[in-house]
Structure 1
């Protein structure tokens, strides 16, 4: 790594984009995040390193602004449909080429971000991402749909309870009586 290299790391589970500032000891690096805070991290704490681009700390926000409009999770479904037949592992650079027809640094980071956040179509395998089987994708979508339905029922139930507390007549549903 060199000074100005853009990296992503996690701090208490939250994504942080930073630039490498200087080495600290034998292996650690001092990095400065988008908020101007410095952190000392070990290379294994780096979730992603943007290749081919160095920035100053003041340019991180512009980099993020370039990436944000590209973060459409729906585009991964199209990529998955194209890649499921081969079943081959793809890198972030290959995904950027597929999604955006270019491999510039901000596009590679956007592809990484989409793949990292995705829980339906791809799973991480080594340094790349492997398309899930059609059966697994259908199962995950079904689980998500069931969870959303259960959440909606619970919210509706709580709304009916609030109405009843206010003294309004409420029509109870069958799902309200069953655990």
Structure 2
């Protein structure tokens, strides 16, 4: 049986061409899936913001997915409101709205309710005026409690006084005296 190098070379070239075509097809499909995920995340974000806007609440939302082909994770940020006290109930209706609107399942929702700190006395007075003007009683309750919290005072103590306080009530063996 004679060995034909041209036939082997031709077979290897055909195999290499098929491999390159397969790699290019995989890269194009992966890029298409990534683009679809980005578009779906933007659609979910817009649907959630619109859902809350209709109820008169302004929120910020972000949407992402971790695993390929996985469900989406949504992060919602809003100022603290009494109506969000039971956010897990609202979460169920938001998930249902996203499923109906976008046709996509939301796996998890995370909520964030930042409270702006009043660092100075003037800012505290401004917060009092704002609390009086704010119509949401939940944030008013929180600000009222925040005003009466005492500020901690920290001072330095010399090492000798620490040793004196730590050795008070102990005899020379280190045992507590009665």
Please classify the TM superposition score into its range, dividing by the shorter chain length. under 0.3
| TM-score, normalization by structure 2 | 0.25
More strand by share: 1
| TM-score, normalization by structure 1 | 0.25
